[in-house]
């Protein structure tokens, strides 16, 4: 590996996230918070549980940030092209990416940061230096949920260690770092909570962030009102988390087209 690869944005961001995570955890253990009180009382189950949750959130973060989000195969395959084109209704023409020169499936988009086309593209996450797409989106939602639990618990722990009855100078020396940690955790909790709520809404309606924000720019969404991929709450959640019912998005689009055609005929 080249030396400059160690200083790539992805390595720096993931290292920063890891250092910040364990740094905040260390601050919570070193100050007179509920964690230390539980340790002194011999109640080790809660501190151990907190550590396991922190470790789990960190592992999920690394998994989402390092895994393939669902890149479109860049190898030209004429048979795959014919099969893919055959599944698309005549009203929809698959786009060829002018960067990758591949035929993009429905809901795919080219990411300028990753320089690849991503299936069911949601967004490029700068905090992970990776795209969120068809393969890692469920893990991304799971990470947000677990991270929010850890942040809220950490927020409670930081608050439990703050003492406001001390003189200002003494308080600043003894609790200044813990108070800064409390402010950071408050900010991160709000961001994680908003992200989790927005992604749960998008998953429930089978929409991506890209489609929600840019529906006026996307050809297959401009042609009709509403979301052609929405199959109801239960089926949307089952498809997102379990991959059921399976099948390419082109097939779902064709089914929706046939359903609308039948209803209009009646």
* Residue 57 clears pLDDT 70, i.e. is over it: yes
Residue 135 contacts residue 128 (beta carbons within 8 Å): no
Q: What pLDDT is recorded for position 249? A: 82
Q: What pLDDT is recorded for position 256? A: 61
Q: Is 103 helix (H, G, I), strand (E, B) or coil?
A: strand
Burial of 120 (0-12, 13-18, 19+ CB in 10 A): buried
* Residue 123 clears pLDDT 80, i.e. is over it: yes
Q: Is 209 helix (H, G, I), strand (E, B) or coil?
A: helix
* Residue 266 clears pLDDT 50, i.e. is over it: no
* Residue 259 clears pLDDT 70, i.e. is over it: no
| Distance between CA atoms of residues 39 and 47, nearest Å | 7
Task: Confirm whether 125 is a catalytic residue.
Answer: yes
Q: What's the pLDDT tens digit per position in 144-170?
A: 999 999 999 999 999 999 987 778 777
| Distance between CA atoms of residues 219 and 88, nearest Å | 13
| Distance between CA atoms of residues 76 and 80, nearest Å | 8
Q: What's the pLDDT tens digit per position in 7-38?
A: 788 899 999 999 999 999 999 999 999 999 99
Element of type H or E holding 169: helix 168-204
**The token pair that represents 200 in the structure block:** 């749960």
Average pLDDT over residues 211-237: 88
| Distance between CA atoms of residues 69 and 90, nearest Å | 29
The domain segmentation of the chain, as residue ranges, is: 8-68+136-264
**The token pair that represents 227 in the structure block:** 């979301």
Give the up-direction half-sphere exposure of residue 72: CA atoms within 13 A in the CB hemisphere: 29
| Percentage with pLDDT > 70 across the chain | 85
| Distance between CA atoms of residues 203 and 208, nearest Å | 7
* Residue 190 clears pLDDT 90, i.e. is over it: yes
Choose among 112, 15, 121: nearest CA to 62. Answer: 15
Average pLDDT over residues 178-187: 96
Q: What's the pLDDT tens digit per position in 243-256?
A: 887 777 877 666 66
Q: What pLDDT is recorded for position 222? A: 82
Marked catalytic residue, from 97, 111, 114, 125: 125
Question: Which residues does residue 118 pair with via DSSP β-bridges, in sequence order?
Answer: 71, 109
Residue 134 contacts residue 119 (beta carbons within 8 Å): yes
Q: What pLDDT is recorded for position 81? A: 52
At 92, give phi and psi (nearest 5°).
-115, 125
């Amino acid at each position: 590996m080249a030396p400059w690869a160690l200083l790539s944005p992805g390595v720096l961001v993931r290292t920063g996230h890891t250092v910040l995570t364990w740094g905040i955890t260390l601050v919570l253990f070193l100050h007179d918070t509920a964690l230390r009180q539980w340790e002194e009382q011999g109640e080790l189950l809660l501190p151990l549980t907190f550590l396991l949750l922190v470790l789990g959130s960190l592992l999920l973060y690394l998994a989402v940030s390092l895994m393939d989000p669902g890149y479109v195969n860049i190898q030209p395959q004429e048979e795959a092209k014919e099969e893919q084109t055959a599944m698309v209704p005549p009203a929809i023409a698959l786009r060829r990416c002018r960067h990758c020169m591949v035929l993009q499936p429905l809901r795919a988009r080219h990411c300028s940061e990753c320089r690849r086309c991503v299936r069911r593209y949601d967004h490029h996450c700068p905090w992970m230096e990776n795209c969120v797409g068809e393969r890692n989106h469920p893990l991304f939602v799971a990470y947000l949920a677990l991270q929010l639990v850890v942040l809220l618990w950490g927020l409670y722990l930081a608050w439990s260690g703050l003492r406001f009855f001390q003189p200002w100078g003494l308080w600043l020396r003894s609790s200044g770092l813990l108070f800064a940690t409390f402010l950071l955790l408050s900010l991160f909790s709000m961001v994680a909570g908003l992200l989790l709520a927005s992604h749960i809404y998008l998953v429930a309606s089978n929409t991506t962030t890209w489609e929600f924000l840019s529906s006026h720019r996307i050809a297959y969404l401009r042609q009709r009102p509403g979301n052609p991929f929405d199959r109801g709450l239960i089926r949307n959640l089952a498809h997102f988390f379990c991959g059921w019912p399976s099948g390419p998005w082109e097939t779902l689009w064709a089914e929706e087209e046939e359903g609308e055609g039948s209803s209009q005929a009646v």
